[in-house]
Structure 1
Amino acid sequence: MSTATPQKFEFQAEIKQLLDIVIHSLYTEKEIFVRELVSNASDALEKLRHTQLTEKDIFEESQSLEISLTTDDKAKTLTIQDYGVGMTREELVKNLGTIAHSGSKQFLKSLSEGGQKNSNLIGQFGVGFYSAFMVAKSVKVYSHSWKKDEPGHVWSSDGSGSYEVEQVDGLSRGTKIVIELKDDCGEYATEGRVKDILERYSAFVSFPINLNGKHINTVTALWLRSKNEIKEEEYTEFYKFQSHAYDEPLMRLHFSADAPLSINALLFVPKENTEKLGFSRLEPSVSLYCRKVLIDAAPKDLLPEWLRFLKGVVDSEDIPLNISRETMQDKALIEKLNKVITKRFLKFLDEEATQRPEEFAKFYATFGIFLKEGAAMDFTHKDQLVKLLRFESSLTEKTKNTSLAEYVSRMGSEQKEIYYLVGKNRAAIESGPYLEGFKARNLEVLFCYEPVDEYVMNNVREFDGKKIIAADHGDVKLADIPKAEGALSDDQVKELTKWLKDTLGDRVAEVKSSDRLVDSPALAINSDKFMSAHMRRMMKAMDKDGADTPVKVDLEINPRAAVMKRLYESHTTSPDRSKLVAEQILDNALISAGLLEDATPMVARLYKLLETV
C-alpha cells in the first residue's frame, strides 16, 4: 500500500544510452534476462548471508533464503522474488537510476575504448537488471532493506527515459521484480518456457529456486564440493543431468586448481563414441560457468577440438566477461584455461594408463581416434599425446596393445628406427610380404588398422629420438642375413630383373632383388614417396587431383622363391607364357600393397594362364 506521493526521476544520460544498447544490441537471446535476474537474486541472498554474520538486528530474520518465480500467462507477467538484503530508497535510485554502483560506467567506458575487458561481476545489481527491458512493457521493483527502520519502496519504469520511486507498506525483506511483458514476449509468462530457461542457466544456483511453488534446482553444483564427500551415485546422477545421458560415464576427472587460474572442473568420458557409431561430428559439451552461473553451454575454444568427446563443467571465478556474459573478451585467458584443463586431463589419462591399464584400454578402444587426431594436429600437447598412443605389434598378442615407449624399450642396440605397417587388420598384415624380412631379423613392427594412422605417423615422425618409418617404405634398409641355399646367383638375378623391367615396361620404375622377402616371391614398393597406397585411396575417395595418376612401383623379387627360379628358367624358353606370369606376379604384389585399382586385365590373363595348364 502506498503511503507517499510517487517521485519521478529522469535516467542519467549514460543509463539511457545503456538501456538502448541492452534492449537493441547487447544480448543475442532475449531469454538471458531470466538468468540475469536470478543471478542478481542469488547475489542478494549471498550478501544477506554475510550480513547475518556481522549484524544482529535483521528485518524478518526467519525468512527463508530462496528465490521464487511466478508466471501468469493471462496477465502476461513474470515475477521474480528473493528474500535477500533488499534496497533502501537511496539504493534503488543509486543502483537502478545512476551509474554509481551498477557497473555501467565501466561498460560504457569499455565500449568507447574499443571493447576492452570489463570488470563487472556477475549478479551485481545494475546492467544485468536492464535486460528485463528487452521483454518488458513495464518493470516494477518492490524492495525492503534488511534494516528494520527502513520503509519499503517500489521503483517503476517503462524504460523510455524516466522512473518513479514510491514508498509502500507491507513488503517482505528482499526484492520482488514484476515484469509486464510485451505482446510478442508472452512466452516468458508460461511455466514451461521459464522452467526450461532455469534448468539451462540456473540449475546450480546455491539457493532454492521455486517456480510456481515447485522446486527447480534439485541437482547441486557437484564440482564445488569435496571429492571425499560425494557418493558414486551422485556423480552418476549429475552426469546424466548435465549430459542428458541415460547410462553411467566410463571415466571422470574431478579437480580444483588455484594457480595459475582458479578452476573447479568435473569432466566425464561417456561410454560410447557416437562419431564411431556413424553419427554426426560431436560438438563441444563441456559447459563454462562462473560462480555456478552458466556462461556458455558449449564454448568452442575452452578445450582443443580433439577433446570434443568430453562432457562436464568448468567453473572459474577469474573469467572477465563482457556485459552480457554471452561471450568472453579475454581470449588469452580462455587459452590459458584451455591449456590448464587439457594438461590436467592428459595427466589423468597417463595415470590411468599406468595405474589402471585395463580401464585405459577400454577408453582407448573407444576414444583412441581422438588422441590420434590430437597427436597429429595439436603441436602444444603433441609429446603427451604421443605417449598415450597404443598399437598392436608383431610381438604382442592379438587385441593387446603396446605403447611407443614399450616398443623402444625392446629395441636392440643396432635398431635406429620404429617400424609400422598399415593394413585392414592383423591377418592382412601378417599374411602379406612386408613383414617377412622384419620377422626374420626379429624386428618389431607396429600394426596400424585405421585409415588415419598413416597420417598420424607422418605427422608424429619420431619418438624418443627414433624416426618412425613405414616398414613398406622404399628407403627401409635391413641388415643382411645368411642367404638360403638354392637361390639364384647374382648374375641370374641381374639377368632376370633386367628381363622383368623390359617386360613390364612403364608399369614399374625399378626391379631389384629384395633383402626383406623370405617366403613370398615378390613385393611392390610405391615409388611415389609422397603418396602411399593408403593416401592414394583416401584421395581417391575424396576425388582429389592426382589420385588417378597411373601407379608406378618398384618391384622387389625373392631370388630364393620357387616361382622366381622357375620364371628364370622359362623366360627364354617360353617367353609368351613367362610374360603372363611376370604380369601376374606384379599384380599379385600390387594386391598385397593395396595398389591394384582395376582387376579386369588380371582376370583375363588368369584365364590365358589356365589355358596353358
Structure 2
Amino acid sequence: MVKENGNISIHTENIFPIIKKWLYSDKDIFIRELISNGCDAISKLKRLSSLGEANICDDEKFKITVSVNKEEKTLKFTDNGIGMTEEEIRKYINQVAFSGAEDFVEKYKDKMDEGNDIIGHFGLGFYSAFMVADKVEIDTLSFKEDAESAKWICEGGTEYEISSSEEKKERGTTITLYINEDSADFLDEFKLRTIITKYCSFLPTEIYLENENKPKEEAKYETKKNEDGTEYQELVQPEEPKPLNDTKPLWMKKPSECTDEEYKDFYKKVFTDFNEPLFWIHLNVDYPFNLKGILYFPKLKHEFEATEGQVKLYNNQVFVADNIKEVIPEFLLLLKGTIDCPDLPLNVSRSFLQNDRDVAKISNHIVKKVADKLTSLFKNSREEYNNFWNDIQIFIKYGCLRDEKFYEKIKDVIVFKTINDEYITLKDYLEKSKEKHENKVFYVSNEQQQSQYIKLFKEYNLDAIVLDASLDNHFISFLEMQERGVQFTRIDSDISDVLKSDDEDSKELNSKLEEIFKSSLGDKISKISIEGLKNEETPAMILISEHSRRMAEMSKMYAAMNMPAGMFNEEKTLVINNKNAIVKKLIYLYEDESKKEEVKFICEHILDLAKIANNELTPEDMDNFIKRNNSLLGKIVL
C-alpha cells in the first residue's frame, strides 16, 4: 500500500472543537461509543456470515477488549469483527457523520429482520475519542479475502495519515487513544471498570478489561495432598478472565422463560437493592414498535422514598440515560426498571430524544401495560393486591394526578383502607353507605387524633376510609372533580345523620344552651351548634369545616411560595349534645345567679374535653385544664 496523506472531509468548519466540548453531555461517553462500534463490527460480521457472505468458524469466540496502559498513556479498544479496508476507512472515518452502520443497514435492508441489532446510526461516535485523546490510531484488517491491513492516524485536526498496518495480523479493529493530560483519570483501571459497567453492562458481545501494566498470571505448581496424606505437585492454570457484561439480560427473554427468582436476582444486581420488589411488569413488544423491558414496583420504607425511583433507558442494550421523561412518564419514574427500545429517535449523542410521534406512542403503551398489570392483580390476586396497597398507593395516586388517562384506566382498581381494616373501592363504599349518607365519603387522616370520632362511627356501624398520605389532600380534590356529586368529608368535620338522635329537639332549649355557652366561652371558639346525639355520654364534639381546613392546609403547603402561611384559618364548631345529662343540668344552674361562675367553669371544661378528644389543646389550654381539674378534685374531696 502506498503511503498517503490527506484531509478529512467535513461539512462544517471547526467541527473538532464542537465534538470535543459539546457533542456529548458526559465526557466518559467516548468509552460507550467505541465499545458500541466494536459491538457493531461483530454484529455486522455475524449477519454477513448468516447470509453466506463471510466465512467464520462455528466455534469462534467474539469479544471486545479494552486495554489500558498507564505508563504509555494509551487506551485500546479491540474487536474481532468485520474490520475495514482502506476504502472503507476513507468512506466511514474520513467523512464525519457518514454512518457505517446506516450504510450497512441500507445495503442489506432487504435481507435483515425487523429488529436488526446494529447499534450505531449517527457516524459521530468514533470522533468522541478526540474529547480525551491528543492522537488516535486505527489498525484494522477486513474480513474480505486477500484484504490488506490498514492504519489510520489523526492528531485531532483535519489532517490524517493512512498506510499499511504492520501490527494488525488478525481480522478486526484496534483503536488506540493517546490520552491527553486533562483526561489522565481515564487511565485508572477502577474508573474504566465503573464506566464500562455503567454503559455496557448488557451489550450482546462479551467485554473484557485488561491492564497492560500488570504482569500476566501464568500457570504454576501447587502442593496438594492425597487421601493418604502424601504430597504431590499439581499444575494450576490461572483463572480465566470474566467478561464485565451480561450478554443476555433478562428483559431480552420471553416472560414465559423467566422465573420469579431470576426477576428478583436481576433486580438486586441492577439496582443494588437487597429488598425484594413487590411485583414486576415484563414488557415484550414487537409491533408496532420494538420495546422490551422490566418495570419493578419496589417496597418502600416510607412514602418519601417514592422519589428515589430509577428507570434505565437502553437502545439495543446500550445504556442511554436514567429517567428520560419523554419515554417514561414522570409518575412511572417512581418505579425501578430497565427499558430497551431500539426504535427511539435519539440525537447524535444518544443522550436525548428527538421530538417524534413514536415516542408518545411508546410512552402511552408503557402506561397501558402498567394499568393492565394493576387491573390483573386486582381481579385475580385481590388479597395480594390489598397487601401491596400501602406501598403502591403513592405511585398510583400521583399517577392519577399527573395523567387523567391513567386514572381512567385504573379508577376501578383504586382501593381504600377502612377504619375496620378492610380494603374497598370508592364505588363499593358509596353503594354500602348510600342509605346512611348518599355520595358522602367520610375519611380519617389521623387515626390517633380522630379516635373519638372513629369510636362513634364503629359504635353505630358506620364506615370511613383512611387517607393519611401527604398526597391525599390533593387526591380527594381530584376525585371530587372526576366523580361528580361525590363529597369527601373528614370524620371530624360533619356529623352523620345516623349519629343524631331521632327525638325532636326543643328550639327553646337549644336557644338557651347556645346562649349559655356563648356567654361562658366568649371568643374561645368561633361557632357553637346544638345537636341531639344518640351517644348521650359525650357532652360535646369539635367539628372542623372541611373547606376551611383544606384551604388552611394548602396555605401551609405553599407558605414558601407567594401564598402567606396563616392566610386561611380552620373554622371550628363546638357541637353541644343536648341529650347529655351534664349539659341539661346547665340550664337549671344558669337560672341561679350564684352559680354563674360554676356554669362558666363547666362550659370551659366541656370545651377542653372536646379539644382533648381532638388532640388540639395548646400549652396554655392544657395549663388551665390542669388547674381546673385540681380545683374540681379539691371541691369533691373538701
Corresponding residue for 2:549? Answer: 531
Please tell me the residue identity of whatever aligns with 1:145. Answer: S
Corresponding residue for 2:137? Answer: 140
CA distance in structure 1 between the aligned counterparts of 2:606 and 2:22, rounded to whole angstroms: 72
- Structure 2 residue 285 is the aligned partner of structure 1 residue 264: no
Paired residues for 1:134-173 under 5 Å: 134-168=131-165, 171-173=169-171
Please tell me the residue identity of whatever aligns with 2:529. Answer: K
Paired residues for 1:73-112 under 5 Å: 73-99=70-96, 101-102=98-99
Corresponding residue for 1:303? Answer: 328
CA distance in structure 1 between the aligned counterparts of 2:278 and 2:202, rounded to whole angstroms: 24
Residues 188-215 of structure 1, C-alpha deviations (whole Å, 9 max, x = no match): 2333222111111011111111222542
Residues 227-260 of structure 1, C-alpha deviations (whole Å, 9 max, x = no match): 2222333323221221112243221111223455
**Inter-CA distance 474–32: structure 2 relative to 1 (3 Å threshold):** closer
- Structure 2 residue 200 is the aligned partner of structure 1 residue 202: yes
Residues 525-580 of structure 1, C-alpha deviations (whole Å, 9 max, x = no match): 22573225983896699898453977652222222111211222222222111112
8 Å CA contact retained: 1:508, 1:552: no
CA distance in structure 2 between the aligned counterparts of 1:234 and 1:194, rounded to whole angstroms: 28
Residues 496-525 of structure 1, C-alpha deviations (whole Å, 9 max, x = no match): 122222332333343232266533222222
**Inter-CA distance 259–124: structure 2 relative to 1 (3 Å threshold):** closer
**Inter-CA distance 403–6: structure 2 relative to 1 (3 Å threshold):** same
1:9 match: secondary structure? strand
CA distance in structure 2 between the aligned counterparts of 1:432 and 1:393, rounded to whole angstroms: 16
Q: Alignment partner for residue 177 of structure 1, among 175, 199, 202? A: 175
Paired residues for 1:593-604 under 5 Å: 593-598=614-619, 599=621, 600-604=623-627
Please, which moves more after superposition, 160-169 or 121-130? 121-130
Corresponding residue for 2:578? Answer: 559
CA distance in structure 2 between the aligned counterparts of 1:103 and 1:17, rounded to whole angstroms: 22
Corresponding residue for 1:584? Answer: 605
CA distance in structure 2 between the aligned counterparts of 1:361 and 1:480, rounded to whole angstroms: 30
Please, which moves more after superposition, 200-209 or 297-306? 297-306
1:432 match: secondary structure? helix
Please, which moves more after superposition, 359-368 or 23-32? 359-368
**Inter-CA distance 468–154: structure 2 relative to 1 (3 Å threshold):** same
8 Å CA contact retained: 1:275, 1:282: no
CA distance in structure 2 between the aligned counterparts of 1:393 and 1:259, rounded to whole angstroms: 43
Number of corresponding residues: 585
Please tell me the residue identity of whatever aligns with 2:599. Answer: S
1:246 match: secondary structure? coil
Corresponding residue for 2:566? Answer: 547
Corresponding residue for 1:114? Answer: none
Please tell me the residue identity of whatever aligns with 1:535. Answer: E
2:5 match: secondary structure? strand
Query: What is the CA-CA distance between 1:323 and the residue it aligns to?
Result: 0.9
**Inter-CA distance 379–263: structure 2 relative to 1 (3 Å threshold):** same
CA distance in structure 1 between the aligned counterparts of 2:315 and 2:302, rounded to whole angstroms: 30
CA distance in structure 2 between the aligned counterparts of 1:77 and 1:359, rounded to whole angstroms: 56
Identify unmatched segments of 5+ residues in structure 2.
104-117, 211-240
Query: What is the CA-CA distance between 1:77 and the residue it aligns to?
Result: 1.0
CA distance in structure 2 between the aligned counterparts of 1:16 and 1:238, rounded to whole angstroms: 47
Residues 264-308 of structure 1, C-alpha deviations (whole Å, 9 max, x = no match): 12111233x1444x76x7334110011111110343554344434
Please tell me the residue identity of whatever aligns with 2:612. Answer: I
CA distance in structure 1 between the aligned counterparts of 2:482 and 2:325, rounded to whole angstroms: 31
Q: Name the Cα RMSD after superposition.
A: 3.4
Please, which moves more after superposition, 528-537 or 351-360? 528-537
CA distance in structure 2 between the aligned counterparts of 1:531 and 1:103, rounded to whole angstroms: 65
Query: What is the CA-CA distance between 1:612 and the residue it aligns to?
Result: 3.8
1:458 match: secondary structure? helix
Query: What is the CA-CA distance between 1:318 and the residue it aligns to?
Result: 1.9
CA distance in structure 2 between the aligned counterparts of 1:438 and 1:490, rounded to whole angstroms: 30
Query: What is the CA-CA distance between 1:387 and the residue it aligns to?
Result: 3.8
Paired residues for 1:568-579 under 5 Å: 568-573=587-592, 574-579=595-600
Q: Alignment partner for residue 47 of structure 1, among 40, 44, 48? A: 44
8 Å CA contact retained: 2:492, 2:542: no
Please tell me the residue identity of whatever aligns with 1:24. Answer: K
Q: Alignment partner for residue 452 of structure 2, among 412, 425, 432? A: 432
Residues 325-362 of structure 1, C-alpha deviations (whole Å, 9 max, x = no match): 12223276555443322332122122212211232233
**Inter-CA distance 133–256: structure 2 relative to 1 (3 Å threshold):** same
CA distance in structure 1 between the aligned counterparts of 2:184 and 2:147, rounded to whole angstroms: 35
8 Å CA contact retained: 2:492, 2:544: yes
Query: What is the CA-CA distance between 1:147 and the residue it aligns to?
Result: 1.0
CA distance in structure 2 between the aligned counterparts of 1:173 and 1:550, rounded to whole angstroms: 79
2:376 match: secondary structure? helix
Paired residues for 1:344-355 under 5 Å: 344-355=369-380
2:549 match: secondary structure? coil
Paired residues for 1:72-471 under 5 Å: 72-99=69-96, 101-102=98-99, 122-124=119-121, 126-168=123-165, 171-212=169-210, 213-218=241-246, 220-258=248-286, 261-271=289-299, 273-276=300-303, 282-330=307-355, 334-384=359-409, 386-394=411-419, 396=420, 399-412=421-434, 415-425=437-447, 429=450, 431-433=451-453, 436=456, 440=460, 442-461=461-480, 465-471=484-490
Please, which moves more after superposition, 533-542 or 63-72? 533-542
8 Å CA contact retained: 2:208, 2:243: yes
Corresponding residue for 1:607? Answer: 630
1:571 match: secondary structure? helix
Please, which moves more after superposition, 511-520 or 554-563? 511-520
Query: What is the CA-CA distance between 1:597 and the residue it aligns to?
Result: 3.4
**Inter-CA distance 136–424: structure 2 relative to 1 (3 Å threshold):** same
CA distance in structure 1 between the aligned counterparts of 2:136 and 2:58, rounded to whole angstroms: 28
8 Å CA contact retained: 2:500, 2:534: no
TM-score, reference length from structure 1: 0.85
Please, which moves more after superposition, 96-105 or 5-14? 96-105
Corresponding residue for 2:520? Answer: 503
Q: Percent identity over the alignment?
A: 26
- Structure 2 residue 542 is the aligned partner of structure 1 residue 514: no
**Inter-CA distance 523–331: structure 2 relative to 1 (3 Å threshold):** farther
Residues 66-119 of structure 1, C-alpha deviations (whole Å, 9 max, x = no match): 21221111111111111222111111001011257338999xxxxxxxxxxxxx
